[in-house]
């Protein structure tokens, strides 16, 4: 058996395009079963094809038609995107969050448009090859998986020769690396399927070296998939791709008829600075200047205009109560909202500094981070800085119906019912029962979360009466007194 395996490896090293590691990738690479991963993979390919088309030699008329076609394809993608996150686009009462049983049909419609875009974007020789590989027959509907695999293969082969089409492959590989690394923070699936920080640690170590070692990335991801694990993409990846597509539209054409919110930029956010016209002013940004992607202010956040009509963004009132190093550039309103949503700040306070914001920050700063190295970036002063901002932005929006603060998110598995039950029965209920409350019996195992919250409030109140305990407790507003917090967990652990 060993000799047979060795022969197989030797054969792949000598006959497969990239050797045995690439053969493993061919078997496992983004064979995505989840709707969200299939959607991300497809949209990433659309953006890559649009970028290739933007640098191709085309006249202005062809570029305008290309821009219109990109916008039409994005519109086809919208129901796929909504379905990927269980937001059923059919306006049927009671079915708003039902799984889309017609998802594959929508994908067939989208893949046809994606194929058309590929035929325009790819060089002639690659387009001919795509026709042969992906369709097989002109009368058969295009299979999305076959189409994407064919495009990836064309990109993979192009890397060997240093051709621009290689971006189709490299960009998609690095995107999946990032999806894997951000999955543990949002994964609330059953424990047997859940991707943990430990699972992706080897991939993280390889990626953190920063040397773009793609074969090493591929090997680590193939090992994860071979174990039956699958990543979960966050919405932010779709948002970034859509922002890049917006930017690409400006590269393709400046004609307002083909490049507007109804054509090329349909359903796209604005997240990047528009490209400078070749014969226009170069603006104030120079090569070598220090820039950060998160300093860009989205148009929806730009409330004021500075000198020369330049957007400066909306300043946050009482920002000094939330940030140690506040500036509109570092913390535009869109980022403030993102941070508050990650912290579980009540929706009524999102976008402003309310009574609970400081307490939520203190809870976050007292919580052990998923990635141990992030603990070194957190200061326990009740104010966020750029390091803590970057740590927080790794988290998706808080599932507020299941968790009420950042610490609860981790302890309750971001709202996973099994993880919540386990934490309640094994940790929270026993520790709450260590404090006797006059007239009340101990909480039983299996007590509901609302019942546990009532006891948390009573236990917290009793502990605040003890000055030796109160000095080590986070000062919370009354509206947060029923929440499980790291200070309460630690103090009760000592009992």
pLDDT of residue 268: 83
DSSP 380: S
Confidence check: pLDDT of 305 > 50: no
pLDDT of residue 302: 38
DSSP 368: P
Please compute the mean of the pLDDT values over residues 370-376 and round it to a whole number.
82
Axis crossing angle, helix 35-54 with helix 235-252, rounded to the nearest 10: 20
Confidence check: pLDDT of 441 > 60: yes
Contacts of 83 (CB under 8 A, 6+ apart): 35, 39, 89, 99, 100, 103, 106
Confidence check: pLDDT of 439 > 60: yes
Confidence check: pLDDT of 11 > 60: no
Quote the CA–CA distance of 436 and 80 in Å, as a whole number. Answer: 54
Quote the CA–CA distance of 47 and 242 in Å, as a whole number. Answer: 8
Quote the CA–CA distance of 35 and 85 in Å, as a whole number. Answer: 8
Per-residue pLDDT tens over the stretch 210-258: 888 888 998 999 899 888 899 988 888 888 888 888 888 988 988 889 8
> Rounded to 5 degrees, what angle do the CA atoms 67, 71, 73 make?
115
CB 203 within 8 A of CB 257: no
Q: Give me 336's structure tokens.
A: 């403030």
Confidence tier at 197 by pLDDT (50, 70, 90): confident
pLDDT of residue 151: 58
Please compute the mean of the pLDDT values over residues 47-73 and round it to a whole number.
85
Quote the CA–CA distance of 415 and 413 in Å, as a whole number. Answer: 5
Confidence check: pLDDT of 16 > 50: no
pLDDT of residue 25: 42
Among candidate residues 384, 401, 295, the one with its CA nearest the CA of residue 340: 384
Mean pLDDT score of the chain, rounded to an integer?
Answer: 78
pLDDT of residue 154: 52
Per-residue pLDDT tens over the stretch 323-366: 998 988 888 888 899 999 999 999 999 999 999 999 999 999 99
176-177-180-181 Cα dihedral, nearest 10 degrees: -140
Which residue has tokens 């860009």? 296
Alpha helix ranges (H) inside 183-277:
197-208, 214-226, 235-252
Per-residue pLDDT tens over the stretch 74-132: 999 998 888 888 788 876 777 777 788 888 788 878 888 888 887 887 777 766 776 66
Of residues 13 and 28, more confidence is placed in 28
Among candidate residues 450, 461, 434, the one with its CA nearest the CA of residue 442: 434
Confidence check: pLDDT of 54 > 90: no
Percent of the chain beyond pLDDT 70? 75
pLDDT of residue 406: 96
pLDDT of residue 474: 92
What residues form DSSP beta bridges with 311?
Answer: 305
pLDDT of residue 68: 92
Domain regions of the chain by residue span: 2-237, 319-398, 408-493
């Amino acid at each position: 058996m060993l000799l047979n395996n060795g022969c197989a490896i030797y054969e792949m090293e000598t006959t497969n395009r990239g050797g045995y590691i690439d053969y493993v990738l061919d078997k496992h690479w983004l064979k995505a079963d989840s709707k969200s991963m299939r959607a991300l993979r497809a949209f990433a390919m659309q953006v890559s094809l649009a970028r290739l088309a933007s640098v191709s030699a085309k006249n202005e008329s062809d570029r305008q038609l290309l821009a219109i076609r990109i916008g039409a394809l994005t519109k086809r993608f919208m129901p796929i995107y909504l379905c990927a996150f269980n937001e059923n686009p059919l306006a049927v009462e009671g079915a708003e969050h039902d799984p889309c049983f017609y998802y594959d049909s929508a994908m067939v419609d989208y893949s046809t448009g994606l194929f058309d875009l590929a035929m325009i974007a790819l060089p002639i020789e690659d387009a001919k090859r795509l026709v042969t590989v992906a369709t097989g027959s002109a009368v058969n509907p295009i299979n999305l998986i076959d189409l994407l695999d064919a495009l990836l293969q064309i990109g993979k082969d192009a890397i060997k020769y240093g051709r621009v089409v290689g971006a189709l492959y490299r960009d998609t590989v690095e995107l999946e690396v990032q999806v894997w690394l951000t999955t543990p923070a949002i994964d609330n699936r059953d424990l047997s399927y859940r991707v943990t920080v430990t699972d992706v640690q080897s991939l993280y170590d390889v990626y953190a070296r920063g040397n773009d070692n793609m074969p090493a990335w591929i090997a680590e991801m193939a090992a994860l998939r071979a174990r039956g694990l699958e990543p979960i993409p966050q919405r932010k990846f779709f948002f970034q791709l859509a922002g890049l597509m917006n930017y690409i539209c400006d590269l393709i054409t400046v004609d307002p008829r083909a490049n507007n919110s109804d054509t090329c930029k349909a359903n796209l956010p604005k997240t990047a600075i528009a490209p400078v016209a070749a014969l226009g002013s170069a603006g104030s940004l120079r090569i070598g200047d220090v820039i950060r992607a998160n300093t860009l202010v989205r148009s929806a956040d730009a409330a004021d205009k500075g000198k020369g009509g330049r957007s400066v963004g909306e300043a946050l009132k009482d920002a000094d109560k939330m940030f140690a190093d506040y500036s509109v550039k570092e913390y535009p309103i869109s980022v403030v909202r993102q941070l508050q949503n990650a912290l579980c700040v009540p929706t009524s306070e999102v976008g402003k500094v309310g009574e609970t914001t400081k307490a939520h920050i203190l809870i976050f700063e007292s919580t052990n981070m998923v990635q141990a190295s992030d603990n070194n970036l957190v200061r326990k002063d009740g104010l966020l800085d750029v390091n803590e901002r970057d740590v927080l932005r790794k988290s998706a929006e808080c599932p507020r119906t299941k968790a009420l603060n950042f610490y609860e998110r981790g302890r309750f598995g971001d709202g996973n019912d099994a993880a919540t039950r386990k934490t309640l029965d094994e940790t929270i209920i026993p520790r709450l029962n260590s404090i006797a409350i006059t007239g009340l019996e101990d909480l039983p195992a299996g007590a509901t979360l609302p019942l546990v919250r009532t006891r948390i409030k009573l236990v917290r109140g009793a502990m605040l009466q003890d000055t030796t305990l109160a000095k080590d407790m986070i000062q919370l507003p009354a509206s947060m007194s029923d929440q499980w917090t790291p200070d309460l967990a630690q103090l009760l652990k000592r009992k």
